């Protein structure tokens, strides 16, 4: 007989992270993973076996498993499968600087400690959710770029079935290499993936990889920063951040998507902010890509619907390449790009190596040999080296600037066609 852990919730502090609101004095009942023998003092292998048994039990019932908070993380081996209909729910909102035990340098609460270097930690299937949990890699380096452990993904999408409806909320990562690998295939394309309020600093430079995720994927309020585990042992060293940038990857990669919704995204100290691939379209709003070589790389494979509306953002491009290769925005391929109220500026930063000039080459590079169109409205452009804010290397491109401000603090209104 399972012991049912009753958790009395007196205020809905986690409503914003997807938790259901519960009125004062009412009870919310969940099945604790400790009831299935997942315990802080167990070995990773024992906890993996017992947690998988709990998931197997919960799947046909559509049950939620409560990652009961503890003063010591749960060590769990990788290779878990979160089967259909199961929820893993912890106590936390996002914890961007880490929770810390008052005496030991370990995170506390709903925490999984991961040391498995061979297996992805958790593979998700349909109608699953994970929220309020911290993922900690205690063996990962903070200071030595030569000692970075290239762990498998923390959370990945199943490769053997079409996955629909995954909700990932209020998740924090410390020492991870690739938190989210949602690279599916044409045979098993996915739908309706939501990532919200997730924090970390991936040592691969890739926070969310998404491919073949159709029908309105959403990435909301996510934050990439090398200070993500500052209270656990210190911020990542300048040398580690430089090594991450040299991988020439993008914090967010979106491809083969239908009308992706990307809102309130932040990255600091990765080579690229976001890559909007050939087979994608959608909206990107309210973003900050700080200390990158390339803020946005927008591609496109046709003129019908490979279009992006990009608005309300800031890009600081100043690292990772010689000055000539540093571009806040790159547009190539086909389709249309609308940029509205997107600011770019540059400068130095002690947390990583920046170019001596402390500027970018330009504001936007348009390249290729196929027809594409770009509209730029009301954008503030400064700290670029070139005479013009645009480097135009595509004689088929049509570009229109209106109401923009250049590096000399003058209006920049131009049409190239």
Write down the mean pLDDT value for the chain.
Answer: 93
0.85 exceeded by pTM: yes
State pLDDT tens for residues 33-62.
999 999 999 999 999 999 999 999 999 999
pLDDT at position 233 is 85
Report which DSSP code applies to 347.
Answer: -
Residues 197 and 171: their CA atoms lie apart, in Å, by 7
pLDDT at position 25 is 35
pLDDT at 6 over 60: no
245 in Cβ contact with 271 (< 8 Å) = yes
Q: C-alpha dihedral over 3, 101, 196, 202, to 10 degrees?
A: -120
pLDDT at 139 over 90: yes
State pLDDT tens for residues 331-348.
999 999 999 999 999 999
Q: Locate the DSSP E strands across 141-281.
A: 155-157, 164-174, 180-183, 190-200, 208-214, 218-224, 250-257, 260-268, 272-276
pLDDT at position 10 is 27
Backbone angles phi, psi at 145, to 5 degrees: -65, -25
């Amino acid at each position: 007989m399972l012991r049912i852990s009753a958790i009395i919730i007196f205020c809905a502090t986690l409503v914003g992270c997807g938790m259901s609101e519960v009125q004062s004095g009412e009870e919310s009942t969940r099945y604790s993973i400790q009831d299935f023998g997942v315990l802080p003092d167990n070995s990773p292998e024992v906890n993996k076996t017992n947690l998988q048994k709990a998931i197997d039990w919960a799947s046909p019932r559509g049950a939620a498993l409560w990652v009961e908070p503890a003063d010591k993380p749960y060590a769990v081996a990788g290779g878990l499968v979160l089967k259909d209909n199961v929820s893993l729910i912890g106590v936390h909102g996002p914890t961007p600087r880490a929770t810390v035990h008052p005496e030991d340098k370990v995170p506390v609460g709903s925490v999984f400690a991961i040391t498995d270097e061979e297996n992805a930690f958790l593979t998700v299937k349909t109608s699953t959710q994970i929220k309020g949990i911290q993922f900690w890699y205690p063996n990962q380096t903070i200071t030595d770029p030569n000692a970075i452990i290239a762990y498998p993904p923390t959370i990945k999408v199943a490769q053997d079935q079409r996955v629909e409806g995954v909700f990932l909320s209020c998740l924090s990562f410390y020492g991870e290499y690739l938190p989210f690998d949602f690279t599916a295939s044409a045979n098993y394309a996915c739908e309706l993936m939501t990532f919200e309020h997730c924090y970390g600093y991936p040592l691969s430079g890739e926070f969310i990889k998404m491919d073949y995720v159709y029908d309105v994927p959403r990435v909301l309020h996510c934050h990439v920063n090398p200070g993500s585990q500052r209270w656990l042992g210190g911020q990542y060293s300048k040398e580690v951040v430089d090594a991450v940038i040299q991988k020439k990857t993008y914090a967010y990669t979106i491809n083969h998507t239908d009308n992706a919704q990307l809102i309130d995204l932040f990255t600091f100290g990765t080579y690229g902010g976001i890559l909007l691939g050939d087979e994608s379209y959608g909206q990107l709003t309210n973003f900050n890509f700080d200390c990158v070589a390339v803020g946005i790389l927008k591609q496109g494979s046709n003129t019908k619907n490979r279009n992006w509306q990009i608005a309300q953002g800031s890009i600081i491009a100043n690292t990772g390449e010689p000055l000539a290769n540093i571009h806040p925005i790159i547009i190539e391929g086909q389709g249309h790009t609308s940029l509205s109220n997107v600011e770019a500026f540059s400068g130095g930063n002690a947390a990583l190596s920046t170019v001596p000039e402390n500027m970018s080459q330009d504001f936007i590079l348009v390249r290729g040999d196929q027809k594409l169109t770009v509209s730029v409205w009301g954008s503030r452009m400064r700290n670029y080296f070139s005479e013009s804010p645009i480097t135009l290397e595509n004689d088929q491109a049509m570009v229109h600037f209106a109401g923009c401000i250049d590096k000399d603090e003058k209006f920049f209104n131009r049409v190239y066609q």
